[in-house]
Structure 1
Amino acid sequence: MSDDFDDFELPEPPKVSSEVGETFDQAGIDALFGFDLVTPTAQKSGLKAVIESDVISHERLPMLEVVCERMVRTFATSMRNLTSDAIDVHLEEVTSTRFGEFMNRVALPAMLGVFKVREWENYGVVTVDSGLIYAVVDALLGGRKGNEPVRIDGRAFTTIETSLVSRMVQLALNDFAASFEAIEPIGIELERVETSPRFAAIAGPSNIAAVATFRVDMEGRGGKFSVVLPHATIEPVRGKLLQRFMGEKLGRDRIWEAHMANELWQTEIIMDVVLGEKVMRLNDVMNLAVGQTIGVNRGPDDALEVHCGGVPLGRAHIGQRCSNIAIRMVTDISKGFSR
């Protein structure tokens, strides 16, 4: 049985006359969207270049750099106490990149610690490269100083190696939280340690993240670790991180804060007790004479209003104590006091 569609041919598409306007062929469409089938390695252009652009427009965070500089000093001391070796810690760079692009650049094998900032209710990642992992394990297990640790490929990290590196990661997070205290007190918890970037995906691949990279040198051995903070995580303190301060003091000064609070507690203020109020006509006020009595409709046991600077604070009873006129509050002091 023959097929009825064997001799079927599609009609030619209608051609646009040059008198109406220019034709928009496939080459023009490819040029608009940035596709080039002839030279696939050519530079992207058009809408495709805009959508897949690697250029990130971001705001510089000066205070985050200051926090990282403070962390360098504290973390170096913590590592010396942990390993009993001479430790040098350096801040290599603080930059911004897309989260997916950074995770794709992580050289495996590596450890990725996922941590949570309680106050911000969001997550971050600490990446530790293999050089630093084996250097820490070698130092904590009594290896010889000055020897470059041998990198062992083709196997997963053991439980002992993961536990030892987790101690170092927790120290780094504690020092990072302590360095951040001058801007805003935070608490950081290490939730888990992963070895695959897929299981440490705390943000979308296209989300922008701030990355601080540190290098640790331990007498001829060492490596790098990075603290990754997505911009969604640091959004609660973004305004403070954009500030610029010179010198060691940053954020609020706790010494002056305590001094001002102490002086405020010792400040003397004038309290007014309103015995009563009465609405009178201006003509009656101008005709007041010496000895004239004005009734205020108040009894000796009624609570009177207490004002400070014209602001009502509460009610109190009036009396006498130690030959002085005194009042005793019968309501709590509140700015929202209503008559």
Structure 2
Amino acid sequence: MIDLEDFDLPDPPAPPGDMGGGSFDQADIDALFGDFGPTVGKKGLRAVIESKVISHERLPMLEVVCDRVVRTFASSMRNLTSDGVDVSLEEVTSTRFGEFMNRVALPAMVGVFKIEEWESYGLVTVDSGLIYSVVDALLGGRGGGSPVVIDGRAFTTIETGLVSRMLSLALADFSEAFAPIEEVNMNLERIETNPRFAAIAGVSNICATATFRVDMDGRGGRFTLVFPYATLEPVRDKLLQRFMGEKSGRDSIWEAHMAAEVRKTNVSMSVLLGEKAMSIADLRSLEIGQTIALHKSPDDALDIACGGVKLAQGQIGQRSGKVAVRLINDVSSDKKVKQ
């Protein structure tokens, strides 16, 4: 047996900054891990451009269009694959184009489509799970088996062609769902497997994205439609509506009610008997009882005004012992009133 007490071992060295109390201060921590210093924040225009906080307008009508796509695209996929297909809308949100492209999980397919009427482009991304599910379904696979193993290889021409058929159906259904807002034609131009070759906007540009989930007998995946806000600018006002056919500020019931109430409104009318230019000295020299000649005869036409705006002309007289004014032309035109 070896007794450790027989050996005179030195005491272990104290950690830096430990003066026997066993406590650390900020200087000791900086000595151990290094002093990284204060974080320098971005300022000015760069801070605005590279900010992760996105301020955007909500597009209610775009969500309505995507809901309609869910119903029509499910029927299209059932006719294409002859399988039970369930399509659901996961989210409609906004993000920066560069941030979205960095989140695309590879391997994936990125379809570039053109909107002919607006002469602008959009993207549709398909994840690998949906790609292999569509290829398996179109080539006669029964589904329900073990999940497809993603080996990271490049997609073949046959796989790209089969997926392009699905994307063409999705774009056609989206165009049909968009028809109540505006007639558009979305045509698939090409399919890329590298997101860098499918750049249609700047990395800091804001885009609207709609993500759909497709399930086919226990297999499936997601695809996402990407619309830069510059692409949606021609129909921005229509997409801001809360329901189909909304016309801001137009309501026939309220218009009729407003017109009826305006006709009941009392207004103060003034009749201009005449005008005369006077100097300030003559005005100050006026006395009580003095007469001012206006050079108007009793039969001359007088101006009738409301709030300083001339409306018509009339003649002054008496009726039932009161001073009265008779119109000699219509308020809305210069035609004389029939006597």
TM-score range, shorter chain: 0.5 to 0.7
In the other structure, the counterpart of 2:133 is 135
Amino acid at match of 1:195: T
Please say if residues 210 and 226 of structure 2, whose CA atoms lie closer than 8 Å, have aligned partners that are also in contact. Answer: yes
- Extract structure 1 runs of 4+ deviating beyond 4 A: 42-51
Please say if residues 128 and 150 of structure 2, whose CA atoms lie closer than 8 Å, have aligned partners that are also in contact. Answer: no
In the other structure, the counterpart of 1:239 is 237
| Aligned mate of 2:245, from 248, 251, 268 | 251
In the other structure, the counterpart of 2:143 is 145
Please say if residues 49 and 204 of structure 2, whose CA atoms lie closer than 8 Å, have aligned partners that are also in contact. Answer: no
With normalisation by structure 1, the TM-score equals 0.60
How big is each residue's C-alpha offset from its partner over 1:271-309, in whole Å with a ceiling of 9 and x where there is no partner? xxxxxxxxxxxxxxxxxxxxxxxxxxxxxxxxxxxxxxx
Once the two structures are TM-superposed, the CA of residue 219 in structure 1 deviates from its matched residue by 1.1
| Aligned mate of 2:75, from 77, 88, 94 | 77
Taking the aligned partners of 2:166 and 2:173, their CA distance within structure 1 comes to: 11
In the other structure, the counterpart of 2:107 is 109
Please say if residues 146 and 219 of structure 1, whose CA atoms lie closer than 8 Å, have aligned partners that are also in contact. Answer: yes
Instruction: Please show how residues 1-339 of structure 1 align to structure 2 within 5 Å.
Output: 38=36, 44=41, 47=44, 49-245=47-243, 250-251=244-245
- Number of aligned residue pairs: 212
Match of 1:224, SS state, is: strand
Q: Which runs of 5+ in 1 are unaligned?
A: 1-36, 254-339
Please say if residues 92 and 213 of structure 1, whose CA atoms lie closer than 8 Å, have aligned partners that are also in contact. Answer: yes
How big is each residue's C-alpha offset from its partner over 1:175-210, in whole Å with a ceiling of 9 and x where there is no partner? 000000010010111000000001100001000000
Q: Which runs of 5+ in 2 are unaligned?
A: 1-34, 248-339
Amino acid at match of 2:245: G
Once the two structures are TM-superposed, the CA of residue 148 in structure 1 deviates from its matched residue by 4.1
CA 1:123–1:50: 2 relative to 1, 3 Å: closer
Once the two structures are TM-superposed, the CA of residue 106 in structure 1 deviates from its matched residue by 0.2
Taking the aligned partners of 1:218 and 1:161, their CA distance within structure 2 comes to: 17
Once the two structures are TM-superposed, the CA of residue 251 in structure 1 deviates from its matched residue by 2.9
Taking the aligned partners of 1:63 and 1:128, their CA distance within structure 2 comes to: 24
Taking the aligned partners of 2:156 and 2:104, their CA distance within structure 1 comes to: 20
Match of 2:167, SS state, is: helix
Match of 2:134, SS state, is: helix
Taking the aligned partners of 2:93 and 2:136, their CA distance within structure 1 comes to: 31
CA 1:140–1:242: 2 relative to 1, 3 Å: same
Taking the aligned partners of 1:252 and 1:138, their CA distance within structure 2 comes to: 44
Please say if residues 217 and 223 of structure 1, whose CA atoms lie closer than 8 Å, have aligned partners that are also in contact. Answer: yes
Taking the aligned partners of 2:40 and 2:220, their CA distance within structure 1 comes to: 38
Please say if residues 127 and 225 of structure 1, whose CA atoms lie closer than 8 Å, have aligned partners that are also in contact. Answer: yes
> Identical aligned pairs, as a percentage?
73
Once the two structures are TM-superposed, the CA of residue 151 in structure 1 deviates from its matched residue by 2.7
Please say if residues 73 and 169 of structure 2, whose CA atoms lie closer than 8 Å, have aligned partners that are also in contact. Answer: yes
How big is each residue's C-alpha offset from its partner over 1:146-186, in whole Å with a ceiling of 9 and x where there is no partner? 12442332310000000000000000000000000010010
Taking the aligned partners of 1:118 and 1:154, their CA distance within structure 2 comes to: 34
Match of 1:154, SS state, is: coil
Please say if residues 130 and 151 of structure 1, whose CA atoms lie closer than 8 Å, have aligned partners that are also in contact. Answer: no
CA 1:49–1:83: 2 relative to 1, 3 Å: same
CA 1:52–1:168: 2 relative to 1, 3 Å: same
CA 1:38–1:187: 2 relative to 1, 3 Å: same
Say which one has the larger Rg. Answer: 2
Q: Structure 1 stretch 140-149 or stretch 66-75: which is displaced more?
A: 140-149
Once the two structures are TM-superposed, the CA of residue 114 in structure 1 deviates from its matched residue by 0.2
Amino acid at match of 1:239: D
Taking the aligned partners of 1:51 and 1:184, their CA distance within structure 2 comes to: 32
Once the two structures are TM-superposed, the CA of residue 144 in structure 1 deviates from its matched residue by 2.1
Amino acid at match of 1:103: M
Please say if residues 148 and 221 of structure 1, whose CA atoms lie closer than 8 Å, have aligned partners that are also in contact. Answer: no
Amino acid at match of 2:229: H
Please say if residues 50 and 204 of structure 2, whose CA atoms lie closer than 8 Å, have aligned partners that are also in contact. Answer: no
With normalisation by structure 2, the TM-score equals 0.60
Taking the aligned partners of 2:128 and 2:229, their CA distance within structure 1 comes to: 27
How big is each residue's C-alpha offset from its partner over 1:214-268, in whole Å with a ceiling of 9 and x where there is no partner? 00011110000000000011100000000111xxxx2389xxxxxxxxxxxxxxx
Taking the aligned partners of 2:160 and 2:93, their CA distance within structure 1 comes to: 28
